[in-house]
Chains A and B, each alone.
Chain A
Amino acid sequence: MIDNKLIELIGVTKRYGGNTVIDDLNLYIRENEFLTLLGPSGCGKTTTLRIIGGFETPDEGKVLFDGADITKLPPNERQLNTVFQKYALFTHMTIADNIAFGLKIKKKSKQYIQDKIKYALKLVNLDGYENRMPDSLSGGQQQRIAIARAIVNEPKVLLLDEPLGALDLKLRQDMQYELIRLKNELGITFVYVTHDQEEALTMSDTIMVMNQGYIQQIGTPEDIYNEPENAFVADFIGESNIISSTMVRDCLVNILGVNFPCVDKGFGENKPVDVVIRPEDIDLVAPEQGQITGRVTSLIFKGVHYEMEVMANGYEWLVHSTDMSPVGSEVGIHVDPFDIQIMHKPESEDEAVSAKEL
Chain B
Amino acid sequence: MKRKNTILLSTPYGLWMLGFTIIPLLMVVYYGFTTKAGELTLDNIRLIATEENIQALWISIRLSLLSTALCLVIAYPLAMILRNMKFKSNSFMVTIFIMPMWMNSLLRIIAWQNILERKGVLNTFLEWLHIPAINVINTPTAIVLGMVYDFLPFMILPLYNTLAKIDENVISAAHDLGANNFHTFTKIIFPLSLPGVISGVTMVFVPSLTTFVISDILGGSKVLLIGNVIEQQFQKLNNWHSGSGLSLVLMVFVLLSMALVGKYDKGEGSASVW
- Please give the residue numbers on chain A whose beta carbons come within 8 Å of chain B beta carbons, in ascending order: 53-55, 74-76, 81-82, 84-86, 88-92, 101-102, 105-106, 146, 149-150, 153
Contacts and interface: CB of A to CB of B under 8 A. Distances in A.
Given A76-B180, A105-B183, A88 B167 contact: yes
Nearest to A152: B177
Contacts of B172: 55, 75, 82, 84, 88
B173 A76 contact: no
B179 interface: yes
Nearest to A81: B176
B39 interface: no
Contacts of A106: 178
B198 to A, nearest CB: 13
B177 A105 contact: yes
B188 interface: yes
Q: List the 6 closest pairs (A to B, CB-CB), nearest first.
A: A102-B177, A88-B169, A88-B173, A84-B169, A105-B178, A75-B175
A105 B183 CA distance: 8
B176 A75 contact: yes
Contacts of B194: 92
| Best-surrounded residue of A76, A146, A153 (most CB of chain B within 10 A) | A76
Nearest to A153: B177
Interface of B: 167, 169-170, 172-180, 183, 187-188, 191-192, 194, 268
Contacts of B176: 53, 55, 75-76, 81-82, 150
A85 B169 contact: yes
Main secondary structure of the interface of A (DSSP, over half): loop
B177 A101 contact: yes
Given A74-B175, A105-B179, 17 more contacts: A54-B175, A75-B172, A76-B175, A82-B173, A84-B172, A85-B169, A88-B167, A88-B173, A89-B170, A90-B174, A90-B192, A91-B192, A92-B192, A92-B268, A105-B177, A150-B176, A150-B177
Contacts of B170: 88-90
11 contacts: A75-B175, A81-B176, A82-B172, A84-B173, A88-B170, A89-B173, A90-B192, A101-B174, A101-B177, A101-B187, A105-B177
A82 B171 CA distance: 12
